[in-house]
Structure 1
């Protein structure tokens, strides 16, 4: 992190202090985002030892992130991450332990499905309010799972900047962070966000989104899909569009997703 100087100093009452100094004003937005994220991460620290460990871990992640990412998320990536964080927030509302909820989020780790918990896998998709009713399935593994239950959950998301009920990517991530109950969960959440290419830059304060529709489909039986176990030998790296009108009969109560928690 060449734009920031990190200095460890001893303070009063045998306390240690971390002093961060910005060297280049052109990076002020990134520096401010780093400091704000660090403050949030330290909120649940119980003593100076854990606070120091969290701080150094957080700074190492930011250093690695800034070394490997030079571009902002695309509009499609912002919308997709918004949908995944929305589902994570819904998991937390189901009274699942927060560390388990964060652990179940595997989208940042390029898993076949975005969430796996218990014997359930969930693939999250987002479509914009103006898109035709199809979703892109990006591989032959997304709609096949070794778990007993597999669901496809689709959020229709509209950009409604003027609506008071709309939320930006930064806002929904901050709101979800507040639901986490311990420093380990916050640390894991931050790591996974960084792996997605996200840091809380002001650019993600817009657009602000509203979820206008949520549909959940149970993947079973003759659900239309291309899966690895049924492809001819030599066929790989499949992606395809799935028409939602043709899977309407597989729509299910969303609470089926959470029954295995």
Structure 2
């Protein structure tokens, strides 16, 4: 399922008859659960789960500013309703993510539970935007991290995709930008002409026992004509995630840590970057220069320093030119 498929389905609903207050059409016969797209009497988009008559759900109505969910005991319909049409595209993303999660599930207890859990997981994204605008350097840093994430996604499949997405921890300001069981990755994004990157603390290249540590340096050029915006990059990643039946809400939740939503992300369209290369450095190789906690006196902390890359070619383990 993709956005084009849903768009055609919504168009088909417009010619359907209204029944019990809704125009509706089944999402897909490929799904074991009986799930429908709907439009209510005032034109709001809905997602309707038709539960078996003998299946009870202990559930109370939840209504927020932009979205609501309710159980109707007379029909045993569990219905999500979008209350703000400006969020139609995001609601479609929710539907695709939910469909990918439940399409192969036969047990009503399980698919009804996931239906409700998906609502609570996505409700965070149906909120009014934060008006605080992020500076260009922050957007560039997030853009670079997403470039690395895109590379990781391309090497993943439907079994590993959510683990790959969950490993992106940059927006949470944790120790490293990507944290996995076997490796950590720190990402630095720089202008192509610069020969150094800034390390903002002694923790950014901290070594974790039993794990590889890679410094991924993303070199870019600001280019309003052929460069890509943060929004464009996120949409590319969304497409790749859905193709692998992944949970796109993991990305949305991470972006939200920086106040970025699919609604306000277009405000950063004036920042466009062209990817030129990515160099991966092995930070565990003997002699790689770094300042870490174990090398500092206890009285020194919050270290910031520039790492000159011109003499580090021997530590490069992978180059990608674009």
Asked if TM exceeds 0.5, the reply is yes
Residue 189 (structure 1) aligned with residue 251 (structure 2): yes
Residue 154 (structure 1) aligned with residue 198 (structure 2): no
Residue 111 (structure 1) aligned with residue 174 (structure 2): yes
What SS does the corresponding residue of 1:217 show, helix, strand or coil? strand
| Higher RCO (Cα < 8 Å, 6 or more apart) | 1
Length, aligned pairs only: 236
Q: How does 1:14-163 map to 2 (within 5 A)?
A: 14=77, 16-21=79-84, 32=86, 34-46=87-99, 49=112, 50-63=114-127, 66=129, 69-96=130-157, 97-130=160-193, 132-146=194-208, 147-163=210-226
Deviates more, 1:185-194 or 1:4-13: 4-13
What SS does the corresponding residue of 1:234 show, helix, strand or coil? coil
- Tell me which protein shows more helix as a share of its residues: 1
Deviation at 1:8, TM superposition (A): 4.8
Summarize deviations over 1:83-129 as a string: whole Å, max 9, x none: 11111111111125111101211112222111122321110010123
Deviates more, 1:50-59 or 1:166-175: 50-59
What SS does the corresponding residue of 1:44 show, helix, strand or coil? helix
Tell me if structure 1 keeps the 8 A contact 2:69–2:78: no
Return 5+ residue gaps in structure 2 as ranges.
1-63, 103-110
Deviates more, 1:189-198 or 1:46-55: 46-55
Distance change in 2, residues 1:7/1:144 (3 Å): closer
Q: CA separation in 1, counterparts of 2:212 and 2:67?
A: 47
Larger Rg: 2
Residue 216 (structure 1) aligned with residue 280 (structure 2): yes
Tell me if structure 2 keeps the 8 A contact 1:54–1:187: no
Q: CA separation in 1, counterparts of 2:198 and 2:150?
A: 24
Over aligned residue pairs, what C-alpha RMSD do you find? 2.7
TM-score (norm 1): 0.79
Residue 243 (structure 1) aligned with residue 308 (structure 2): yes
Q: CA separation in 1, counterparts of 2:207 and 2:88?
A: 40
Paired residue for 1:199? Answer: 261
Return 5+ residue gaps in structure 1 as ranges.
23-31, 256-261
